[in-house]
Amino acid sequence: MFYSFIRSVLFQLDAETAHNVALHSIKRMPFLMAQSTVDDPVELLGIQFPNRVGLAAGLDKNADYFEELSGLGFGFVEVGTVTPKAQPGNDKPRMFRLPKHQAIINRLGFNNKGVEHLVKRIKARKKTAVIGINIGKNKTTPNENAVDDYLLGLTAVYELADYITVNISSPNTPDLRDLQFGESLRNLLSSLKEKQIDLIKSTNKVVPLLVKIAPDLDEDDVNEIAQILVDEKIDGVIATNTTISREEVVGAKFADEAGGLSGLPVQHKSNQVISLLRKALPENYPIIGVGGVMTAEDAVDKIKAGADLVQIYTGFIYNGPDLITQAANAIKKLFRQKK
């Protein structure tokens, strides 16, 4: 009820302004939405997660709010996407709500303050929450040099992260998604794996490396990606990012805006990719499912599709922190029934 009132006020503002106001409010008055974390510990990727429900990347790009966000009941928080250099992102307006479809379209374009800022913020943290860091390339870096940006990001954040996500699936950086396929993907991941091994030796710390992929993939695409992930010994996969499809929102206001569509309309596509990955990957290969988790039942469906952990973003915008607790409890119940 309380969050419904907050949402009604925020939804009077344009989407990006509301986004910023909400984060600043959580920072200044964390007690307004803080809640206890559901106790449902699970070990995955060598990490002990308090529960299986996390915050997806994109909400806290600069790690300015992750401590307050972790106090909302999340089992883990993923910050970023961060790039080596600060960049403003795409021109405004660049975020649009589609309330009837419980969706958001964004074309932010990796707007962030750069990796140095993010590193300073995480170094100053006071709480010990599980933190994933999502890394990307700068818009001005051509794909043939993309590996350089990812190596810079990986090296800069390595010792501060519990896991690191390689974002090659945002639709809002030109040609970025081309890195998901064939030799481009293999070469990128081979270089990152080599660097990860070097960093393990030099830091004596193992930080898992994951790749985040798009929902707009057919079965052959997914199978190819899965094989490369295994071949290059990448530690896990996050499925999925936002979609460029507009099938589910035809005729809606803002449906024709460019950008990635998140929320309920991406749910089915995301679950399909998760199911295909689960079939294509080794039995215990870690999958984090994200895309269209609007209810506790949606979170359970991600697990049933083959995910080990679940992330929320747009569902949190529409339904508030209660969704985090409800989803974590529903998943906890599911695993109790399996025992």
pLDDT at 229: 98
Tally Cβ neighbours within 10 Å of residue 228: 21
The amino acid at residue 157 is V
pLDDT score for 31: 77
User: Which residue's structure tokens are 């993010």?
Assistant: 118
Measure the CA–CA gap between 244 and 170, rounded to whole angstroms.
Answer: 10
Torsions phi, psi of 103, nearest 5? -140, 165
Could you list the beta-strand ranges (E) of 265-338: 287-290, 309-312
* pLDDT band, residue 135 (cuts 50/70/90): very high
Q: What is the DSSP string of 72-134?
A: TT-SEEEEEEE-SS-B--SPSP-EEEEGGGTEEEE---S-BS-HHHHHHHHHT--S---EEEE
What pLDDT is recorded for position 205? 97
Structural domain boundaries in the chain:
2-338
Instruction: Provide the percentage of residues in the chain whose pLDDT is more than 70.
Output: 99
Q: How confident is the model at residue 150 (pLDDT cuts 50, 70, 90)?
A: very high
Rounded-to-integer distance, Cα 38 and Cα 80, Å: 24
Name the residue with tokens 């009604």: 8
What is the average pLDDT score of the chain?
A: 95
**What is the assigned CATH class of domain 2-338?**
alpha beta
Query: Which pLDDT belongs to residue 136?
Result: 98
Q: Is 170 one of the annotated active-site residues of the chain?
A: yes
Mean pLDDT of 111-135: 94
Q: What is the pLDDT of residue 1?
A: 58
Query: pLDDT at position 302, please?
Result: 98
Query: Taking residues 236-254, what's their average pLDDT?
Result: 96
Rounded to 5 degrees, φ, ψ at 213 are -115, 165
Tokens of 196: 């990860």
pLDDT band at 339 (very low <50, low <70, confident <90, very high): low
Residues 6 or more apart whose CB falls under 8 angstroms from that of 42 comprise 48, 49, 51, 52, 308, 309
* pLDDT band at 269; cut points 50, 70, 90: very high
Q: What are phi and psi of 299, to 5 degrees?
A: -65, -45
CA angle (39, 26, 288) in 5-degree steps: 45
- Given 170, 262, 270, 275, the catalytic residue: 170
Which tops the pLDDT comparison, 265 or 6? Answer: 265
The model's confidence at residue 292, banded by pLDDT at 50, 70 and 90, is very high
Distance, in Å, from the CA atom of 295 to the CA atom of 245, rounded to the nearest integer, reads: 22
